[in-house]
Structure 1
Amino acid sequence: MSPATAALPSATLRAVLARVAAIPELRPTYEKFLDLDSVTLTDLPVLTKETLAGALDGVVRQARSRPHGAYVYGSGGTTGTPRLSLVPTGMFVEDITRHWQPLAPDDVLVNFNTPGRMWSSHNFFNAVAHYAGAVTIPLGAVADDELADWLDFVDQLGATALDATPSQIARILEFCASTGRPLPAFRKLLWTGEGYSKRAAEVTRRLMPDGRLYGVYGSTESWVIGVNEPDCPTDTFHVVPYQHVEIEDGAVLVTNTHPESINPILRYRIGDLGGFVDCPCGRPGRALRISGRDDPQLKFSSILLLPTDVTEVARAVPGVRDVQLVLFRHGQPDERMEVRLLTEPGTPREELERLVHQRVVTQVYKLGFAVGSSDRLAVRAVDELVTSPQTQKTPLVVHAGTAAPTPVAPARDRH
């Protein structure tokens, strides 16, 4: 029976419960269950992102007493209050690759995931290649004006596989198509970080019809929950044995049972909706199908962020009365965000736009690093915000469909 549907053994649950209850910030919630003769998962509360964030100090202290090392990774927030996660430096990769083997010793992997700023995917795929005995080119993200030269370089090294977000994969494939450059000899595409959008899937099928897709699903806090292979739909994942998944009112709850787990992942509400299905790949047991999000986070430029992370930074700038985020071509490789401002009368608009842009890209954790110096994030002062004609409410986030916005250069680049 699949680990997603099997009952969690009592001894395993007791071990996870004891580890979580040892964290001072969580002890009042969980210690009462330790003395019960019988306890099941459904007896325990659901762990939220806010509760997990509040236990960070205790998690760090517990990590410092362990015999193995730990990485600190970030999952969002601002520079003042980043949302952080601790993962053992082994990243469970040895366990994961027993059940998911996307690479072979003769592969050459180009790692397009961005390193630094406490991002986790770059390190993860380097480790996956290490356990496979493959060659790794730890390249990181590459701008369009450098892409041709770097693709020539990886061609010379005989690259056979790449890892990136689906948005990056689509961008690389479309770059080759638009410039007439032959694709490198990639035969495998490893992906994570966001769902494989319809746009990315269409581009992949059209430009790389023989490419084999290998994905992983999880979060920075819970780490890898499930794996996906070429014969699996891209929204369907086979749960790895050290994770236990429940579905409660459509929401995905996960418990990490690995003895090296540092984060107290016990009935953690990951923020996705899903259900159990039979995967057409034929692997035994039920698989987890992800159908959408159940929290207010949004995915932009391959990172998760709370809209309030952006709007609160912008509202703190003197002269700003109100803020609204407008997303153009959301979920597409060329998606853009416009931060619209209502300003106090008499406030110099261009100066305020420049200041808000500078604050947002430096204080909203990861966002500035993700958009770089591109025009994917713009700030614009407007006379009025978008209001719903039905409710007369002003939404925090507006999805502007597929139309491109009026070009507005990042304020810091204007003269």
Structure 2
Amino acid sequence: MLHTAATVPSLRAKYAHLLGLSRPVSLSEVPVLTQAEYHETVRQLLENPRHRQGAILSAGGGTLTHPELSMLPDDMFAPQLLARWKPLGNGDVVANLFPAGRLQSAFHFFNVYAALCGATTVPIGHLNDDELGQWLDFLENRGVTALAAPSAVIARVVRTAVASGRALPWLHKILLSSSGDVTGTADLVGRHLPQAKIWALYCSPASGPIGHNTPACPADTFHVLPHQYVEVEDERLIVTNTHADSTFPLLRFQTGGLGELVTCTCGRTEPTVRLRGHSGAALTFRSRTFEAAELVALACAEDDVAEAQVTLVNQGTAEEQLCLTVRLRPGVPADEYTCGWIRSQVLGRHLTLRGAVDEAPDSFEVIAVDRLSGAAMVGGAPALVIAEEAPDSLFRYEEAS
């Protein structure tokens, strides 16, 4: 794996001191691979024709100018997952509500995986709130037994069912895929749709599925797949993908997640990890994880913006909201046109935020403020703030005109 990884020009120096050793190399001697190094590796792999066949390219964040691209084999490790995790069977009909497009890989993955299970797939993709009720009736009439969707979409399904008096007795299985904690959605399902059982995956765009759980497991706890080796250093999750079919040897990759190694209450003995959020200024918003600094940079690229900050309000709840607060340059009016333009530019250029906002248009707003939160701190205002309410504003803008 070291020799193969060292064929990438940007990584030769990183692994050079280990390549000439006459003794076996301990994994702990291998330096951690950062996300920035991995994304540069993918860029270089794309420039090499030998690495262009049989792979799926996806984006775990970033912008159109600086995308955070990942590359997985075309089966996306679905056969390896099937040997350990099989929530679906021949009699199941699963509706796939993951967004299809914008370099998001989960939609393709669940179509492939459901077919391997022998289930019938209804590949729908994104649904707006105003059409969700009618589609739930359609799914019932088609004999659907399972939903595959982001955690935030499942929460929308539950709220729609409750508001419209639908009990959804046909829904028996819910398949989630997330890079973060899905406990809030699990609690919501348990209260209102007790017949529906959750089967969840913990994934990283770079390594694919890392772990899985069943209805017998806590919602934040995942059993690690045999080809994934997980380490925990200062709560940081570090993953090595040892599968021979990997498009690239992923050695000690720093996923950005935080967690701990635990024993699951379900009684299974595989290595198990409990998630504890994300490191740095990473945030999970409506089942999508990205860096707050990406939105700050996009906002500050506009001439009218002096400073920007991201505020995540009511994190992990049904009322979760993302606020991009901007301090405008002198003389720039804090009005609908200015804030609406900033919102449209950020949404158009970010690779993952658009999908989340399509699902809930009022969940993202641009707010003009006199002063950013924590502006007096050493080093300036932080890129990300977690709060229980939105900042006070000179002007706020939600829907694009």
**1:286-301 → structure 2 map (5 Å cutoff):** 286-301=271-286
Cross-structure match for 2:384: 397
Q: What SS is found at the alignment partner of 1:55?
A: helix
Cross-structure match for 1:43: 29
Shift of 1:184: 5.0
Distance, in Å, in 2 between the alignment partners of 1:403 and 1:382 is 11
CA contact (8 A) 2:183 2:219 kept: no
Cross-structure match for 1:410: 398
Query: Which of 134, 155, 158 is 1:170 aligned to?
Result: 155
Identity %: 34
**1:12-91 → structure 2 map (5 Å cutoff):** 16-38=1-23, 39-61=25-47, 64-65=49-50, 69-91=54-76
Distance, in Å, in 2 between the alignment partners of 1:390 and 1:366 is 30
Distance, in Å, in 2 between the alignment partners of 1:112 and 1:179 is 20
Cross-structure match for 1:101: 86
Shift of 1:236: 1.4
Count of residues in correspondence between the two structures: 397
Cross-structure match for 2:352: 366
Shift of 1:385: 2.7
Q: What SS is found at the alignment partner of 1:113?
A: coil
Matched, 1:309 2:332: no
Q: What SS is found at the alignment partner of 1:201?
A: helix
Distance, in Å, in 2 between the alignment partners of 1:271 and 1:380 is 28
Q: What SS is found at the alignment partner of 1:58?
A: helix
Distance, in Å, in 2 between the alignment partners of 1:68 and 1:412 is 39
Cross-structure match for 1:133: 118
Distance, in Å, in 1 between the alignment partners of 2:385 and 2:269 is 42
CA contact (8 A) 1:167 1:332 kept: no
Cross-structure match for 1:380: 367
Shift of 1:388: 7.4
Shift of 1:115: 0.9
What is the letter of the counterpart of residue 40 of structure 1?
Answer: S
What is the letter of the counterpart of residue 385 of structure 2?
Answer: V
Matched, 1:157 2:142: yes
What is the letter of the counterpart of residue 106 of structure 1?
Answer: G
Q: What SS is found at the alignment partner of 1:349?
A: coil
What is the letter of the counterpart of residue 324 of structure 2?
Answer: V
Q: Could you say if the C-alpha distance between residues 160 and 71 of structure 1 is closer, same or farther in structure 2, counting changes exceeding 3 Å?
A: same
Shift of 1:61: 4.6
Shift of 1:405: 8.5
CA contact (8 A) 2:186 2:198 kept: no
Distance, in Å, in 1 between the alignment partners of 2:208 and 2:85 is 15
Q: Could you say if the C-alpha distance between residues 78 and 57 of structure 1 is closer, same or farther in structure 2, counting changes exceeding 3 Å?
A: closer
Deviates more, 1:118-127 or 1:359-368: 359-368
Distance, in Å, in 2 between the alignment partners of 1:67 and 1:384 is 47
1:26-61 deviations in Å (ceiling 9; x for gaps): 122224322212211011101100111222233225
1:70-90 deviations in Å (ceiling 9; x for gaps): 111001011100000111111
- Superposition TM-score, scaled by structure 1 size: 0.89
Unaligned 5+ segments in structure 2 are none
Q: What SS is found at the alignment partner of 1:338?
A: strand
Distance, in Å, in 1 between the alignment partners of 2:118 and 2:391 is 44
Q: Could you say if the C-alpha distance between residues 408 and 57 of structure 1 is closer, same or farther in structure 2, counting changes exceeding 3 Å?
A: closer
What is the letter of the counterpart of residue 398 of structure 2?
Answer: P
Cross-structure match for 2:107: 122
Shift of 1:169: 1.1
Shift of 1:117: 0.5
Matched, 1:235 2:223: no
Shift of 1:294: 2.2
Shift of 1:374: 1.3
Shift of 1:182: 2.9
Deviates more, 1:82-91 or 1:360-369: 360-369
CA contact (8 A) 2:56 2:71 kept: yes
CA contact (8 A) 1:379 1:411 kept: no
CA contact (8 A) 2:361 2:399 kept: no
Distance, in Å, in 2 between the alignment partners of 1:67 and 1:324 is 38
Q: What SS is found at the alignment partner of 2:303?
A: coil
Shift of 1:18: 2.2
1:183-229 deviations in Å (ceiling 9; x for gaps): 15111111012434443222111112232211111200011111111
Cross-structure match for 1:6: none
CA contact (8 A) 1:163 1:191 kept: yes
Cross-structure match for 1:147: 132
Shift of 1:319: 2.3
Distance, in Å, in 2 between the alignment partners of 1:159 and 1:253 is 38
Shift of 1:389: 8.7
1:361-410 deviations in Å (ceiling 9; x for gaps): 11122212321381221112223333479989633323221679899443
Q: What SS is found at the alignment partner of 1:266?
A: strand
Deviates more, 1:341-350 or 1:92-101: 341-350
1:154-202 deviations in Å (ceiling 9; x for gaps): 1111111111122211110111101112315111111012434443222
What is the letter of the counterpart of residue 279 of structure 2?
Answer: D
Q: Could you say if the C-alpha distance between residues 147 and 40 of structure 1 is closer, same or farther in structure 2, counting changes exceeding 3 Å?
A: same
What is the letter of the counterpart of residue 384 of structure 1?
Answer: R
Q: What SS is found at the alignment partner of 1:26?
A: helix
Shift of 1:274: 2.0
Matched, 1:340 2:330: no
CA contact (8 A) 1:353 1:411 kept: no
